[in-house]
Amino acid sequence: MSDSIACPQCTLQNSYPDGTMMVCADCGYEWLAHAPAEASVVVRDSNGNVLAQGDTVVVIKDLKVKGSSIPLKQGTLIRGIRLVEDDAEHIEGNSDKIKGLVLKTCFLRKA
C-alpha cells in the first residue's frame, strides 16, 4: 500500500484505483485518479476570441447593473479583467464609473 493516494475528503491512505477513478475504502469518496495536465477553463468572448487575465474588453450592448442607477453603455471599456476560476461564462472587472463588476462573456468582445 505504499503507492496509495491520500483521500481528499478524509485524508486517510486507504484508497484503491477503480478504472479512471480512485476510491477511498474508509469513507467511500471517489475522485479522478489523474487530473488532466491542463485543467484550466478557456474563456471566450462573444466572437469566440480567447480572453486572458488582464485583457481589455468592450461591452457590446447596454446593460443594467444591479445595485446601481448607472447602466453600462455599449462601447464601455473594461480594462484589466480577471478570470473567474472554473467559470468560462463570467469575468470580473471595473469600468470608469462602476467598480466590482461581474459580467457575462456573451455581452463582451475583446478590444
Round to whole Å and give the CA distance between 36 and 33.
10
pTM for this structure? 0.63
Query: At residue 38, does pLDDT exceed 70?
Result: no
When the pLDDT of each residue in the chain is averaged and rounded to a whole number, the result is 88
Round to whole Å and give the CA distance between 97 and 23.
51
pLDDT bucket at 40, cuts 50 / 70 / 90: low
What are the tens digits of pLDDT across the range 69-85?
Answer: 999 999 999 999 999 98
Name the phi and psi angles at 77, rounded to 5: -85, 135
pLDDT bucket at 1, cuts 50 / 70 / 90: very low
What are the tens digits of pLDDT across the range 86-95?
Answer: 889 999 999 9
Round to whole Å and give the CA distance between 39 and 53.
16
Cell 470580473 belongs to residue: 92
Round to whole Å and give the CA distance between 97 and 9.
44
Residue 32 pLDDT: 82
